[in-house]
């Protein structure tokens, strides 16, 4: 006679295995989608291409993400994690005594994070060249995550009187983005060579001086 436990044990473990497999598959699909988007852009971004890159059946993308739009939404949500991971809320040992301290830290972290992430660079480039629903979703997710970071970190810190922080910060971030995109395309920006660590140190020093010049 068979022992009942021998028959039931594998059945009991099967749902847990399926849950683990689904989580792993979702991560694989999302990673493949981000890599494909960074390399190819939206022109070659489709269910079939993502499925090939992920090595899975395309039906799983429909099942787990509801299709291409759901996958784009998931990438947008992941950008919030990007901000949290790459632009941490701890001060890194730096005392944030003024609004200028805060913006110096955010500007330098954003510069470094943007340099290291090809997908976010792509999104930034699309923001100024493609007016599509998909690009708007990704842009809004990134902007929202940065705004939330700034709001949480700001606390009681306020900019100097007479300074418009919204306009000033928009110009700062636009300058950082243009600098990084230009360096990625041609290794320089407006005559400033941006190829070596020393070059980027020079850019970072100039950025800090600009921030301090505005915010003190």
Q: SS3 for the chain, per residue?
A: CCCHHHHHHHHHHHHHHHHHHHHHHHHHHHHHHHHHHHHHCHHHCCHHHHHHHHCCCHHHHHHHHCCHHHHHHHHHHHHHHHHHHHCCCCCCCCCCCCHHHHHHHHHHHHHHHHHHCHHHHHHHHHHCCCCCHHHHHHHHHHHHHHHHHHHHHHCCCCCCCCCCHHHHHHHHHHHHHHHHHHHHHHCEECCEECCCHHHHHHHHHHHHHHHHHHHC
Q: State which of 8-22, 109-123, 138-152, 171-185 shows the largest mean pLDDT.
A: 171-185
| The pLDDT value given to residue 88 | 65
The answer to whether 106 and 150 have CB atoms below 8 angstroms apart is yes
Query: Which range is least confidently modeled, 18-27, 54-63, 144-153?
Result: 18-27
Question: Is residue 208 scored above 90 in pLDDT?
Answer: yes
| The pLDDT value given to residue 94 | 53
User: What's the predicted TM-score (pTM) here?
Assistant: 0.74
| The pLDDT value given to residue 2 | 42
Query: Which range is least confidently modeled, 30-34, 74-78, 170-174?
Result: 74-78
Percent of the chain whose pLDDT exceeds 70: 87
- Rounded distance between C-alpha atoms, residue 56 and residue 88, angstroms: 34
Q: What is the mean pLDDT of the chain?
A: 84
| The pLDDT value given to residue 90 | 58
- Rounded distance between C-alpha atoms, residue 54 and residue 58, angstroms: 9
């Amino acid at each position: 006679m068979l022992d009942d436990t021998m028959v039931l044990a594998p059945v009991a473990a099967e749902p847990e295995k399926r849950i683990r497999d689904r989580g792993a598959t979702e991560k694989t699909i999302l990673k493949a989608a981000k890599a494909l988007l960074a390399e190819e852009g939206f022109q070659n971004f489709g269910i079939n291409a993502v499925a090939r890159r992920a090595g899975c059946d395309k039906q799983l993308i429909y099942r787990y993400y509801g299709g291409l739009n759901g996958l784009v939404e998931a990438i947008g949500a992941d950008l919030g994690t990007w901000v949290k991971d790459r632009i941490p809320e701890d001060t890194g040992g730096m005392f944030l005594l003024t609004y200028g301290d805060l913006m110096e830290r955010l500007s330098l972290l954003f510069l470094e994070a943007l340099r290291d992430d090809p997908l976010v660079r792509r999104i930034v480039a699309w923001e100024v060249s493609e007016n599509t629903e998909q690009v708007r979703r990704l842009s809004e997710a990134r902007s929202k995550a940065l705004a939330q970071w700034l709001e949480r970190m700001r606390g009681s810190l306020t900019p100097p009187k007479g300074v418009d922080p919204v306009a000033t910060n928009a110009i700062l971030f636009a300058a950082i983005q243009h600098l990084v995109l230009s360096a990625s395309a041609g290794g320089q920006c407006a005559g400033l060579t941006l190829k070596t660590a020393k070059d980027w140190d020079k850019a970072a020093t100039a950025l800090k001086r600009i921030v301090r010049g505005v915010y003190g």
